[in-house]
Amino acid sequence: MNLTEFLHMGGYAFYVWTSYGIALLILLANVVLPLRQRRKLLTDIARTARRARRET
């Protein structure tokens, strides 16, 4: 199959590819957000623990 034809999607390229693009974005966001949240949380907890140790 020819690549341009594939990308053209029988004239529906805009609708099909935007849909798949949005899907990709949402799926990626759902993976990236918890990853970032976890990293932030861990540094946050480590900082609190260090502070607590200095106080005692």
Partner 1 sequence: MFNNFFHKLASPKYFYRIAGAWIPWLAATCLLLFLAGLYYGLVVAPPDYQQGESYRIMFVHVPAAWMSMFIYMVMAVTGGIGLVWRMKLAEVIAISSAPIGASFTFLALVTGSFWGRPMWGTWWVWDARLTSELILLFLYLGVIALHGAIEDRRNAARAVAILALVGVINIPIIHYSVEWWNTLHQGPTVTKFDKPSIHISMLIPLLLMALAFKLYYAFVVLMRARCEVLERERSTGWVRELAEAK
Check the CA dihedral 46-49-51-53 and report its sign.
negative
Residue 9 touches partner 1, criterion: CB under 8 A = yes
> What residues have CB less than 8 Å from 24, skipping those under 6 apart?
none
- The dihedrals phi and psi of 2, each to the nearest 5 degrees, come to -85, 135
* Minimum gap (Å) between residue 37 Cβ and partner 1: 5
Residue 38 touches partner 1, criterion: CB under 8 A = yes
Cα distances (angstroms) measured from residue 53 to each of 5, 48, 50, 56: 65, 9, 5, 5
Residue 28 touches partner 1, criterion: CB under 8 A = no
Among 20, 54, 55, 56, binds partner 1 (CB under 8 A): 20
Which residues here bind partner 1, judged by CB under 8 A?
1, 6, 9-12, 15-16, 18-20, 22-23, 26-27, 29-31, 34-35, 37-38, 41-46, 48-50
